[in-house]
Structure 1
């Protein structure tokens, strides 16, 4: 069983990821760090608490993450994609203002020390909170076994700009720091997450099997997400589960991803290419070695992805 701490910005794809984690018997979800990203931090914190309440898993601590990028700039939110409250048409009956004064970041370090050398971090949102944790207590963060990050777009178009993926673009300073300094790092970029689709047919099958309040959220939020994506990419066959793909990578399902190892840096000097993820994939390049060598997912087995998603999201 994997002991996982999830760093999220709980919009729709993060919500699907959390539901998957809660239903997967191979995951021990130790905590969720809720930071800004798809929506503001107070709403991501509120949404996370709401999902855990529906699952009757309020024993899982929610940790208040960052409210803005490392450079202090105002974040950009995406209500057109995730809805004003971050969960599509769902309006959690909890005011986000209740969580404005949360300051429990030290709880993260307590959990890491408690499960020393046996914790996997999965970061599905902006990388600000993760970078902050390393800045604040590197000796504690070195006790983390491995880290998986959803972010970047290597040699493919971005989804925030022509060249940059949203998580890397929103805080390129943090993305560059994590890419070059966090050991045992695996990056799951748009190259593969763009192909990790839940189709409308799959969503309907999940809905037919739904028998808990948590499962009953899946169809309406995916329907909202699908309609939003039809505006972004007319004709797309489903909704890309960027964040879920990163969590599934952490489970190391045999054959799900193909990886290559490269040194990675992120363009972080503000300008046209801000957030561009850079690695040498030129002809003749080869895998790297050492502390700062990053595993990058380059291919996904879609059939394996889809069958596992259906198995977990339709389970009792």
Structure 2
């Protein structure tokens, strides 16, 4: 079978198209014939030996074994191991965290992984949608359900009467957060940096879109939410800290999942504790197993209900690359391409 692999840390040039034997599933595992592989920022960061590299390897360092990249994907179960429900055979599935603490991601024609990490897709859902659910969906779900900031589960009415601010509503996580929050009944405000991104955020379902380069963002947000917002889903805490403080409701929470724009967050302590504010970091890979299981159930339910969509009409343009051009796909994500980058692995 064809696969993309790398044996040392570095730039996109370390990715190679190779031939590998088709793997066999062991006990508790399934084998998925991969149709589409989804690319995330952590994929190129891990390849480069950055802080998301779980092996702690530096750029240029040789790995103990070849690594196939990409956490997310979608395909068809074509073999199951001992102890796995035979009913999964032939099922269309979406894949999550395939390459976390494992050498085998979804950038290959067949991948073997634990059965719970291959989730049946609703009949109407495309492989493209399935390949977009994993990391962005899990991140958005956890931001909206962290203890102390939101409900335990997402679904109609669970966020009713509350307001969510999504920073960067045109990004993959921002798009998922907007759609999930709207499905759950929240009033959703988002910030963007251009008219084109504003168009995408509205397509995702944001009710109020603020272009922070064209207007006073704090005033615009407070006009919509006079008492403040209950939750900020934040992609750039270092640069947005002042804005977030200005619009956060008493007892509100800022959940930050990235460090776009800078790595140093400065907060006035007194202002935070008198406001009862909470600042919570979120690393999706460290989410507890129970919360991941809840995310799987809720994301699948959202797809079933038609509340999670992808494509231009849903505010998430798709950019496609063939398997042999995976290096270009990762470079596109690294360069900040707006939307979701997908790798077409196989046709069936």
Which category of TM-score, normalised to the shorter sequence, fits these structures?
Answer: 0.3 to 0.5
Structure in which a larger fraction of residues adopt helix: 1
TM-score by length of 2: 0.30
Structure in which a larger fraction of residues adopt strand: 2
* Structure with greater Cα Rg: 2
